Amino acid sequence: MTPLSGRVAVVTGASRGLGRQAALALAGAGAAVVAAGRDRAALDETCALVESVGASALPVVCDVTDEAQVDALTRSAVDRYGRIDVLVNNAGVASEHRALELDVAEFRRVLETNVIGTFLPARAVAAHMRDRGGGAVVNIGSVMGRSGTSGLSHYGASKAAVFQLTRGWAVEWARYGIRVNCLALGYFPTGINRDRLAEEGVAERVLARVPARRFGVPAEIGPTVVHLASDASRYMTGQVVYLDGGMSAR
């Protein structure tokens, strides 16, 4: 039996990139997947890939910063499958601005998406999990949440907040059988950062900080997401797990 057979996973930011890879990994482990994001056409592509490995999929258009849309996402998942066992909080944004040039609107956009957009799905899904006896929440964080990086102070602050949400929720919700962990990622080239990494000299400077001397491959997040979502980590909660080629070891 696959480790998530019979379970239902909600993945935010599932339209493409790392969210799509998380959805495919969960599907490969036996879960039905509710793929949430803002781009319906891209969600349909994700769901087609999920179904190609034999799993059930439901696309739901959702802006994770909109409370009503997040509540509707949760209802859609429960109406379709009767349960939610796993939430992968993957939706997020990033940008690079030195602090003296950072405008308040951009700072708010990053915080709203990465912090409030993590809180709202977790609150909605955890209320359901509490009532049915437990589940697993996997927040997607970043190594930037633990170290200072020029031009990324606002992004790093948002991801440090995700670390603390993870720990606080783990303490609050353990009594309900809900586990909460964070997968903190290093550099994985995706649509969110690929153009920046392609600029002259940028990739070389980044890789100089990575002991493994390479970028992550998006599919590499899958096994860790499945581990954190499954009973293999049933005594693990409140932890930040780094998948970063050794960056956090420095």
- Residue 119 phi/psi, 5-degree rounding, is -65, -50
Residues 6+ apart with CB under 8 A from 30: 1, 2, 3, 4, 5, 6, 7, 55
CA dist list (Å): 185 to 49, 153, 160, 188, 195 = 23, 16, 12, 8, 18
Which among 155, 176, 235, 242 is annotated as catalytic?
Answer: 155
**Exposed e or buried b for every residue in 177-207, given b needs 16+ CB within 10 A?**
ebbbbbbbbbbbbbebbeeebeeeeeeeebb
**Is position 155 annotated as part of the catalytic site?**
yes
Query: Looking at the annotation, which residues are catalytic?
Result: 155
